[in-house]
Structure 1
Amino acid sequence: MEITLGWRIVLSLAVIGIACTIRICGTVLLRALRIKRKLRMQGITGPSPSFPYGNLREMHQIQMKTVKARNHGGDLVGHDYTSTIFPYFEHWRNKYGLVYTYSTGLRQHLYINDPGLVTEMNQLITMDLGKPSYVTKRLGPMLGTSILRSNGNFWAEQRKIIAPEFFMDKVKCMMGLMVESAQPLLSKWEGYIEAQGGVQADIRVDKDLRSLSAEVIARACFGSSYLEGKEIFSRLVKLKKLLTKHSLLFDVTSFKLFPSKNKERIRELEREVNTLIWKTVEERRQSQHFMEGGALKKDLMQLLLEEAISTGANKRKVTPKSFIVDNCKSLYFAGHDSTATAASWCIMLLASHPEWQSRIREEVTQFCKDGSPDANSLSNLKAVTMVIQEALRLYPPAAFVSREALEEVQIGSITVPKGAYIWTLIPTLHRDPNVWGPDANEFKPERFQDGVSNACKFPQAYVPFGLGPRLCSGRNFALVQLKLVLSLIVAKFEFSLSPNYRHSPCFRMIVEPEHGVQIVIRKA
């Protein structure tokens, strides 16, 4: 009797569980169908989905064909990599136009690469467009609930603290620190030349540029050095590699479905990073640098500490510890990874175009005392500015502008339903001949000689740092760092692409050189 009753209870719970699952799935399915119907009623079409994976099967098939073709044909030639890294988007764009809809599982997406609509979205000031929750959830181990992952009022609160620290007047005060941080790299490269015969050296630069960028963000924002933060940076890089083993954008899986070995390693790395950052925070709190209301110059960690102490956990529904650690974590990562990658692409392009090295070198000699740029000479360095702008056009580290419609929102003539996910492929937008002209796939920095507003038909469609209210807070910091570092390198060295360089852009959260950047350097 007891066994029979027990089995009845088990069966009843199983039936209830299945019924709840079916109801939830049914609700999600109906929501996705409703979003798709609203988009199609506006004339927006796209590939036909299949249940339950939507268009994922077709996406993987297109990707596999591209991989096979690339393996047969060798490394990529030229700057247009979108058809290689994101072939399904290019396939559908050619078939359905600049605006179409597709689905991944039960998620409905809206692809927008029309320059006019992107301009409209750029100018839209609303909190009804936020970061896609399913993407940021996958990045939770790396970003926590930081500014890069949050939406709504909590995002606005964090931006209010962080953004002012990267205003241009603050960034200019960091220039001396940036120049000082670059000196060991220049000496290291001189040492490579001496070690390889004294004339030239064949070196890989991306790892050194990553270390330099890490040093700058650590010292400028957290009052520490790369050596002190080395363990944090190395673990964040490992965490990124594990998280990008699976598609962050299109898989229907979640973090829970990672292979158990990877899942445990991700959790372990997350704990280690959090512990290391909190140790740094505790050391700061106990040191003379933490003086609430004191006269010492405050860096970003100081401000985060003071905000956490003054408002506590109730206001933001996270603990003060999480608030501090998560924002430090995201800034440690985002502050050095994307800038270092952009610098690597700039070096690759300059190595391929030595005439622009000469132009930069001439300006540095003319305007910079002792070959070292400062706040007064920065605005005169036109050539390096144009090179950076063109490099960010061809190789923007962030491949997408991605948004979730948290409420129904109007973008131009399109009514975007609540729950739809919006994607804009930045490198495609940056290579549109209708925006940039017939030479859109060529490296021509001179197109920016009169600024972005005169470089293309739709200036608002130039979005290397994102768009709208969520424009990257660290934009000024990254641009000034790039100008200084590239000017110092070009003033000191001449360089060309190494025969060992393999041009193979890949997508790992950002678009980066898969095999690094290998160059041959000589003293200028």
Structure 2
Amino acid sequence: MELASVLFRIVSAILLVGSVRVIVRLYSLLVATPERQRSKLWKQGIRGPPPSILVGNLLQMGKTESEDLNTARDGKQAITHGCCSHVLPFLDKWRQQYGPTFVFSMGNIQVLHMSHPDAVKEMSAYTSFDMGRPFYQKQGLHPLYGEGILHANGAVWAHQRKVMAPEFYMDKVKGMMKLMAESAVSVVNEWNRAIESAGGVADIKIDDYLRNFSGEVISKACFGSNCKEIISKLRALQEIACKKVALQGIPGLRSIPTKSNREMWRLEKEIHTLILKEVKRKGGADSDKNILQMIIEGAKNSDLSQDEIDNFVVDNCKNICFPAYENGAVPAIWTLMLLALYPEWQDKVRAEVHEICNGQSPSSGLLNKMKTLTMVIYESLRLYPLGCMLTREAVRDTKFGGIDVPKGVSIWVMLMALYEDPNIWGADVHEFNPGRFGNGINGACKVPHVYVPFGTGPRSCLGQHFAMAELKILLSLLLSNFTFSLSPNYRHSPVMNLIIEPEFGVDLLVRKV
């Protein structure tokens, strides 16, 4: 009995110590560390909305009402393009209340918000390892990112830089021109059939057609075949993940087996399996290497275990494939909506395409001559940007924008607010005016370095040349064959799903030229 009593006291002491350590750890994670980070920023005169314990400002973010961008004019829908206050109303409200620089909390994640031109310039030039990808992305808490990419050694990254180099993508662009054109012709043929069935004018929701086009192109570039299943599951994963981004600061939330979490885990597992299936099928030597084969080759030049190699390949494919898919489809959707709304610019682009191509299939040389189409795409990306903010995290205590940023604080540089600043772009900042880019980006506004439609610095979008070629080929072929106007069914409601998308899709009335 005496021995049992001693063992009981020992076990009780161990459990007590363990419980105390857990409580201390949780207190530090949820209360002390966030408070210390905010305190350092407050002492520098940076204010923001007062946070609540555990949830920070998440409740306030959910309660802020967005501005309605639809108004009636002469019985018709009048569309407003300044969508910052609609897409991110809480940031717009706090910016008006606290100025361009303020701090707010997403659970235990402290965010330093900045929306002034110098922040973009500094982030473009920032090469120190003191800042990196935000914690919730690095640690795989966001399912469209992964941690396998972190395990690479120097030999792997030396090879991966070849895969990620702009010249590699330029070569892939030239090699994929024919495929892009063929995929675009498939869309043209489908719409021709729809027009014939409808008797001359078809009311088409264009989103799925353009996503299928982009998915076919990028999956063949990445995997060497049309991997529709991988793309569709990545898209499904995005729809779940985008609803959870703001909640990533609540520790342990992603580990709770809720219905959406279980669905997310299932999709992640299926995507992992499908990509590895492609690895086994396409992992051999090939004279015309696709991106997957280049990634595999880099992973093999390492001392990683097989599990680490698998994670590395899967996460790289996800990081390259999904952004390229979105960067091709979504800007095309918005651009066609704008051209339908502004037929004078639609006519200008169509005339340019006819003059330059003269019945030929678009080539690299011909695309470079399409100045008006380029202006229209740039203006579309200004009004409905792919990325509305640049995000980094202070890996250690660092200085940014004249501010001493504590370790662990995320930095958000708001591009959308700068794209809607009349002091930078002029009084017509909320109007669709591609002419502002008539002399290129440098002539479009007073502070050209704020316009970075594909990101900036070492983390800029790898596939921007690919995306621009894809956009130009698709739009030039569609405009050569059809005229567009907005359907009465179209409801203008931009929404943030990691990038800005039309919430209800885009409905157009499509006629043959």
- Structures share a fold, TM > 0.5? yes
- Alpha carbons of 1:190 and 1:40: their partners in 2 closer, same or farther (altered >3 Å)? same
What does 1:32-111 correspond to in 2, within 5 Å? 32-62=34-64, 66=65, 77-111=79-113
SS of structure 1 residue aligned to 2:407: coil
Name the residue aligned to 1:209. Answer: 210
Q: Is the 8 A contact 2:160 2:298 kept in 1?
A: no
Residue by residue, what CA displacement relative to the aligned partner does 1:52-87 show, whole Å, maximum 9, x if unpaired?
33322332332xxx16x8599999941122222211
Between the aligned partners of 2:379 and 2:153, the Cα distance in structure 1 is: 33
- Alpha carbons of 1:86 and 1:390: their partners in 2 closer, same or farther (altered >3 Å)? same
Q: Is the 8 A contact 1:166 1:473 kept in 2?
A: no
Q: CA RMSD in A?
A: 2.8
Bigger Cα displacement from structure 2, 156-165 vs 397-406 = 156-165
Q: Is the 8 A contact 1:364 1:371 kept in 2?
A: no
Between the aligned partners of 2:43 and 2:181, the Cα distance in structure 1 is: 56
Deviation at 1:263, TM superposition (A): 2.4
Bigger Cα displacement from structure 2, 429-438 vs 330-339 = 330-339
SS of structure 1 residue aligned to 2:283: helix
**Structure 2: unaligned runs, 5 residues or longer:** none
Paired residues, number:
506
Residue by residue, what CA displacement relative to the aligned partner does 1:459-479 show, whole Å, maximum 9, x if unpaired?
111122122211111111111
- Alpha carbons of 1:166 and 1:205: their partners in 2 closer, same or farther (altered >3 Å)? farther
Deviation at 1:413, TM superposition (A): 2.0
Q: Aligned partner of 1:422: which letter? A: I
Bigger Cα displacement from structure 2, 28-37 vs 172-181 = 28-37
Name the residue aligned to 1:280. Answer: 278
Q: Aligned partner of 1:340: which letter? A: A
Matched, 1:235 2:224: no
2:268 corresponds, among 267, 270, 273, to 270
Q: Aligned partner of 1:478: which letter? A: A
Deviation at 1:23, TM superposition (A): 2.0
Q: Aligned partner of 1:130: which letter? A: G
SS of structure 2 residue aligned to 1:344: helix
Name the residue aligned to 1:381. Answer: 370
Q: Aligned partner of 1:452: which letter? A: I
Between the aligned partners of 1:151 and 1:110, the Cα distance in structure 2 is: 30
Name the residue aligned to 1:329. Answer: 318
Matched, 1:432 2:421: yes
Name the residue aligned to 2:411. Answer: 422
What does 1:130-169 correspond to in 2, within 5 Å? 130-137=132-139, 139-145=141-147, 158-164=160-166, 166-169=168-171
Name the residue aligned to 1:244. Answer: 242
Deviation at 1:312, TM superposition (A): 4.0
Name the residue aligned to 2:201. Answer: 200
Bigger Cα displacement from structure 2, 22-31 vs 335-344 = 22-31
Of all paired residues, the percent bearing the same amino acid is 41
Q: Aligned partner of 2:201: which letter? A: Q
Deviation at 1:366, TM superposition (A): 1.2
Between the aligned partners of 2:14 and 2:214, the Cα distance in structure 1 is: 55
**Structure 1: unaligned runs, 5 residues or longer:** none
Between the aligned partners of 1:369 and 1:400, the Cα distance in structure 2 is: 40
Name the residue aligned to 2:437. Answer: 448
What does 1:404-415 correspond to in 2, within 5 Å? 404-415=393-404
Bigger Cα displacement from structure 2, 358-367 vs 254-263 = 254-263
Deviation at 1:34, TM superposition (A): 2.9
- Alpha carbons of 1:422 and 1:76: their partners in 2 closer, same or farther (altered >3 Å)? farther
Q: Aligned partner of 2:185: which letter? A: Q
- Alpha carbons of 1:377 and 1:12: their partners in 2 closer, same or farther (altered >3 Å)? same
Between the aligned partners of 1:395 and 1:60, the Cα distance in structure 2 is: 22
Q: Is the 8 A contact 1:393 1:430 kept in 2?
A: yes
Q: Is the 8 A contact 2:58 2:105 kept in 1?
A: yes
- Alpha carbons of 1:71 and 1:467: their partners in 2 closer, same or farther (altered >3 Å)? closer
